[in-house]
Amino acid sequence: MAKTSRRKREEERHRREVLEAALDLFSRKGFEQTTMAEIAKQAEFAVGTLYKLFKDKEALYRALILDTVQEYEQALTAALKTPGTEIEKLERYIETKAALFVRHIPTARLYFAQTAGAGLLPTAGLEADARDMHQRLMKRVEAVLRSGIRKKRLADVDPKMLTLGLEGVSNVFLGELIERPDDFTADEIAALTKRMFFGRVRLGPVDG
């Protein structure tokens, strides 16, 4: 049993190394111009080993995107579950999302380059699993907003519309980061997002 566990850990390590090499090459050369042989060389694996992990370059791309979406869902769900008021939960959500934006600029740039319509629809082109993760997350955000409205901490606005509004305000910075990655820090993005969103819907003083 221990031997199987070690083997799985080794396979996961190899998988991560391949994904890191692929993202680096995709970012520098472009998806179409990068070959599986180049990815294998940078990851220091035989090409045959690479194909045992991923059947083709498209599978590599899908894994990169899916892994990133999964990290987003886990981190942002944890932020929404932190103790505190609905305002505090949403502030933590915004701060966490800003930090994720900054950390994953190369993946976001790759996604936007490869996905037609991604600038208009954040979930465009995502695999079904990734879309499901995004939808689950949006339902959690909506639940927190609904609770804040019920407790009169937020203005009485349709929580579904507020969820879309929060996503729109925060996502606009993603496009700016892709074009100008050195112009914003995670803290600046979080502060601007909170001011733009809570300035209209929070019942009480606006922080940060």
Render 77-133 in DSSP notation, one character per residue: HHHHTSSS-HHHHHHHHHHHHHHHHHHTHHHHHHHHHHSTTTTT-TTTT--HHHHHH
Question: Rounded distance, CA 94 to CA 162, Å?
Answer: 14
pLDDT-derived band at 19 (thresholds 50, 70, 90) equals: very high
Domain architecture of the chain: domains with CATH: 1-55 (1.10.10.60), 64-201 (1.10.357.10)
Mean pLDDT computed over every residue of the chain: 86
Lowest mean pLDDT of 21-30, 31-40, 156-165, 180-189, name the range: 180-189
Residue 206 pLDDT: 44
Output the pTM of the full model.
0.83
Tally of CA atoms within 13 A in the half-sphere of 81 that contains its CB: 7
Q: Name the residue with tokens 């305002």.
A: 87
Which has the closest alpha carbon to 91: 103, 70, 73, 76?
76
pLDDT for 116 beyond 80: no
Between CA 103 and CA 206, with CA 144 as vertex, the angle to 5 degrees is 75
